[in-house]
Amino acid sequence: MEINWERLNPILKNVFDHLHANPEISWEEKQTTAFIKKLFKDKNCRIRTFEDSTGLIIDVGSGKPVIALRADIDALWQEVDGKFQANHSCGHDAHMTVVIGVLLSVLEAGGPNNGTFRFIFQPAEEKGTGALAFVEKGVVNDVEYLYGLHLRPKEELENGQFAPAIEHGAAKIMMGNIKGEDAHGARPHLNVNAIQIGTEFFQALNSIQMDPMLSQSVKMTSFHAGGKSFNIIPGNASFSIDVRAQTNELMEEMTEKITHIADSLASLHDVDIALEEETNIAAAVLDKEAISFMQQSIIECVGEEKLTPVISTTGGDDFHFYTIKRPSIKSTMLAVGCDLVPGLHHPDMKFNYAMIPKSVEIIVDVLFRTLESSQIKRSS
Ligand SMILES: [Zn+2]
Ligand SMILES: [Zn+2]
């Protein structure tokens, strides 16, 4: 399919500039949702928004198969130039721009002749809860193929290179609370110092042994105990733990070990230790056929020399919850090499904008390629 770049380029540049200048954090993407809705409100498509959630779904065409494309729409909250603010340092502004570009191109082409293209603008990826909420709403119940994309840092993928899949690891943040009693600095025999329990927890985490052939890590990333009175032995503390694992099974095993440490220390010191999952992101579940379609589209649109093998990364993406919760969905994510420095989530993250139109081309191609192949399968 030929894309009219003379028409589309200025529109996409405006869309990106607007989204980049108006970041909103997870579950607060109200303006972002309204902005996208307005872009498509008079077009030949069906828009679905939600009373109780940000984000939106746009369908083009009708009937089976349903082939979906997902963009994450939230930004991060971080310090930029000395001021805390929302910031699109994970490139979700670029992902939205690409998906909007694909949608505009599909509409210009008159949509799929038989079947549905579904565009999913999903909130709260950074919290790891947006995809799960959308699964609950049933937005992928009838989806056969699901595609996504993510910009990659320069050290993973050079500028202009594309990979047909991203093998994300699982990621989890656990928040912990130690609840004991404070004691006078002169009477250390009357409580257990929460800082001591914290250091024992820290040591125990470092002694967790897992299969060395699978990558994983667990770290205590914050610990708070004690206040302004330095003559009190603190009985309470709060802390956080960041866990990474290459597979979902490994993550489950590690979570069990961490929970076991908390229970053991609680009973040893006669205190309460509560653990809660703050963020939980699944490892990739990828489909060979979807990856092969993506591979062919990369070769078709940018050439074989720009195609790289599947990327493995310790980063996570809640995209994979769609396939974990609905295993019949065939899915993959396009990895975009775009000279991205100094890194994802860095407050000054920069990338090469020219890879946005390139990504649009590849994804438009993969949608029609998937549709055609699935229609051939149906008729034979
Ligand atoms: Zn991110
Ligand atoms: Zn991201």
Of the listed ligands, the closest to the CA of 319 is: 2
The Å distance, Cα 2 to ligand 1 centre, comes to 32
pLDDT in tens, 362-375: 999 999 999 999 98
The Å distance, Cα 126 to ligand 1 centre, comes to 5
Structure tokens at 86: 């929302």
Domain extents in the chain? 5-169+284-379, 176-281
Residues 94-123 have a mean pLDDT of 97
Helix (H) or strand (E) holding 19: helix 5-21
Q: Give, in degrees to the nearest 5, the angle at Cα 24 between 20 and 25.
A: 130
The Å distance, Cα 184 to ligand 1 centre, comes to 44
Of the listed ligands, the closest to the CA of 92 is: 2
Q: What is the rounded distance in angstroms from the CA atom of residue 180 to the CA atom of residue 178?
A: 6
226 Cβ contact partners less than 8 Å away, ≥ 6 residues apart? 194, 195, 232, 234
Q: Which residue has the higher pLDDT, 247 or 293?
A: 293
pLDDT in tens, 167-211: 988 999 999 999 999 999 999 999 999 999 999 999 999 999 999
Assign domain 176-281 to its CATH architecture.
2-Layer Sandwich (3.30)
Of the listed ligands, the closest to the CA of 122 is: 2
pLDDT at 129 over 80: yes
For the question of whether the overall pTM of this predicted structure is more than 0.85, the answer is no
Residues lining ion ligand 1 (Cβ < 5 A) are 90
CATH number of the 5-169+284-379 domain: 3.40.630.10
Q: What is the rounded distance in angstroms from the CA atom of residue 120 to the CA atom of residue 142?
A: 13
The Å distance, Cα 221 to ligand 1 centre, comes to 17
- Give DSSP secondary structure letters for 82-140: TEEEEE-TTSHHHHHHHHHHHHHHHHHTT--SSEEEEEEEE--TTTT-HHHHHHHTTTT
> 64's torsion region: left (phi>0), alpha (psi -120 to 50) or beta?
beta
Q: What is the pLDDT of residue 94?
A: 98
- Residue 280 pLDDT grade (very low, low, confident, very high; cuts 50, 70, 90): confident
Structure tokens at 213: 């052939």
372 Cβ contact partners less than 8 Å away, ≥ 6 residues apart? none
Asked whether the beta carbons of 147 and 363 are under 8 A apart, the reply is: yes
